[in-house]
A = this chain, B = another copy of it.
Amino acid sequence: MTYPLPAPRPQVGQPIRDLSTPLPLIDETKLEANIARVQSYMDGHGIAFRPHIKTHKIPAIAARQVAAGAKGINCQKITEAEVFADAGFEDLLITFNILGSEKHKRLVDLNTRISGLKVVADSEITVRGLSCAFSQSRPLTVLVECDTGGGRCGVQSPEAAIALAEMIAAAPGLTFGGILTYPKADSEDAVEAFFAATIAGLSARGIPCPIVSNGGTPSLFSAHKVTTATEHRAGTYVYNDRAMARSGHCSLDDCAMHILATVVSRPTPDRAILDAGSKALTSDLLGFSDYGMIVDYPEAVISGLSEEHGTVDLSKVSGRRPEIGDKVRIIPNHTCVVSNLFGIMTFHRDGFVTRVEEVAARGLVW
């Protein structure tokens, strides 16, 4: 025996019920169905589709999404984009206001390596910084981010979007690439109104607007109502989770990610303790009052988490209750943040491990 021991790693062909826990698992069949269902919808409505890799952070999954028909990918950080550029992806949108000399330097490097790099901006400060960093010979494509009601980043009106687009179009080293929003769910009318007014103003000024980018999983199947959009971006759809099922986007049966956990203690008749805590499930509630759904015991409530323990209230469980050593599968409230906690992701089909992928773009500094 030589030390350190290799990190524990599931083996292809192993039954998932034998795997050591806690461990997130992806069901290949559900994954494939999620990719196919959304791409088919986008194809049917003539909307270009750009999956957000934040959910999986695995180049092999993005390759499946592109093979199914996605036009390119969406990243949230330069370090994520670098990983996917290294893996051969060319059409790559980073939906972030990028500031600072260190990040600008890496962004310039990245723009020399791939043909389709794009970023967003929502302020003159961000645009001026990018313009100073980039050269006329290899300009960067910049989209204007619009706040259509989502309440995060973005210019606040079509007039402001038009003004910032004019600035980008005139800025040395930059190319105006279009407009973008990260909307709240079920706000297609607001997005359409904002986009239409912006596009009309740009058109009146003779500024082409090649990309009109809408986004989000929860109301993804209403994306066709935004007739001005040329593309849609979504991440969570690829795995799905409890919050997406609640939103109506999918059913609980469409959730491809389960966290496999073991009951490690049964201190009282009504209490079970799992080996999955906030370092496996995260504390994301997303409006729920508990920390995930136990598939095998839907009446059980994960009422509290410490870092490596989950406390389960069994008081409403009729019939058999889980015993020490039993393994259970949990649908997380939010799948994207679970991916970020694990160095590897284990895939299975019909209960047997098919592959183990590195979560290559996980946990990078920025």
Contacts and interface: CB of A to CB of B under 8 A. Distances in A.
A103 B20 contact: yes
A23 interface: yes
Given A20-B365, A365-B343, A266 B123 contact: yes
Interface in A54-89: 54, 76-77, 79, 82-83, 85-86
Nearest to A20: B102
Given A4-B82, A342-B363, A363-B363, A262 B100 contact: yes
Interface string A1-40: 1011101110000000000111100000000000000000
Copy number of this protein in the oligomer? Answer: 2
Interface residues of A, number: 75
Contacts of A21: 100, 366
Nearest to A155: B267
Contacts of A77: 308
Contacts of A364: 7, 343
A99 B325 contact: yes
Contacts of A306: 152
Interface of A: 1, 3-5, 7-9, 20-23, 54, 76-77, 79, 82-83, 85-86, 96-97, 99-100, 102-103, 106, 109, 113, 122-123, 125-126, 129, 147, 151-156, 262, 264-268, 271, 273, 275, 278-279, 282-285, 306-309, 311, 323-325, 336-337, 340-344, 362-366
Nearest to A80: B308
B365 A79 contact: no
A322 to B, nearest CB: 12
Contacts of A309: 152-153
